[in-house]
Structure 1
Amino acid sequence: MQGKEIGSEHYVLAVTENSASSTSVLNFRNPSNTQQKVQMESKLDMDGHFRPRGYQLRSDVDGKKGSIVGAFNPNAAMFEYNNGSTPTKKGLLVGNDYTILDTNIFHHFIFLVRLYNFDSKEKLQRFEVVIPQEADSGVLKISEANRETLSIGAKKVEARHLQVDSGALLIHLWVDRQLVLLKISVPSSGIEVVRVY
């Protein structure tokens, strides 16, 4: 964040023709309270079109533990939130095609990249996303900005630059030819996430 490392995310993806899954561990220090340590562990199961089948998020914020469990049915996403007190449930009405893009779980952007059709004549494409930690959903507009050369560590990499517009936030993504996510930038908050080889 603004040139300072505040954390890291380690993740594993498994993608087949009919299914996809990811697990991750994210550790960071809250930039507005550098004494606060945050750890999040996520597990996401999806179909071959990156529609969620199941989602779990466990969090630990300075020892205060919480969890979210998501269940998905046609046109509905249900979440159970547990932060040590009485669990609460919230539901969202959604369309047929949507994916998960949870707060601070940066590898979820990979699924949007995989959904984006680089060969389409429609350069501005819309995708519905569900944001479990916010108990919200919305539509993101994604377009390809250009191609450019990125410096990732000591490597120079040819990348495609995508812009993701939520209406309130503009996010930049860079991916290589194999659609590997190389970099995420959120200029309004000074956040940059860079892949480390």
Structure 2
Amino acid sequence: MVEKKSEKLEREYVIPLREKCRPVPRYKKTNKAVKTVKEFLVRHMGIRDRDLKKIKIDKYLNETLWSNGIKNPPHKIKVKAVKDGENVIVTAAELSKKVEFKKAREEKREKTAKDFVEKKKTMMQKAQEAAKPVAKKTTEETEKETEEVKEKAAAVKEEGEKIAKKKAVEKKKTTSPKKELAAKKSLKDSDSK
């Protein structure tokens, strides 16, 4: 069996766009420029059947073509074409300033996102390590803790009942509104002590 050679054919071209885009209506000029890039590379990279679908344009090359809008594509563009098997991947050799800035900003965002993900992973690992000793508690310790919580709840409930009884007794003793106010003040004073 004969092995196929998987050589990568790499070339740089300056593609003239002005001639092909000139006769096209204004609202189709940049679309025609993209199509012209594909047609040029099909012709020069030796693509079988002249299939435009085998040409893949890089995101930044596309943005460079569209940087001036739909009505005003660049007159020529320098590209780098890499043929890998059947497909050709086309990238811009020189980026416009807008696209260059955008690319740098996106790379920075990706880097910060990766750092954030790594930081989050380390935090999660630390949290899991800290949680492991807590999970190793014996059943006796957990039973003791639940008993303590129940005792505290019962004590709070008893205190609440005592205070309610005191207030009820004071209310029974007083009959006039003046005496009720005096009783409330005395209760507040006794509670604060």
TM-score, length-normalised on structure 2?
A: 0.19
Bigger strand share:
1
Bigger helix share:
2
TM-score, length-normalised on structure 1?
A: 0.19
Larger C-alpha radius of gyration, 1 or 2? 2
Q: Which has the higher contact order (CA 8 A, sep 6+)?
A: 2
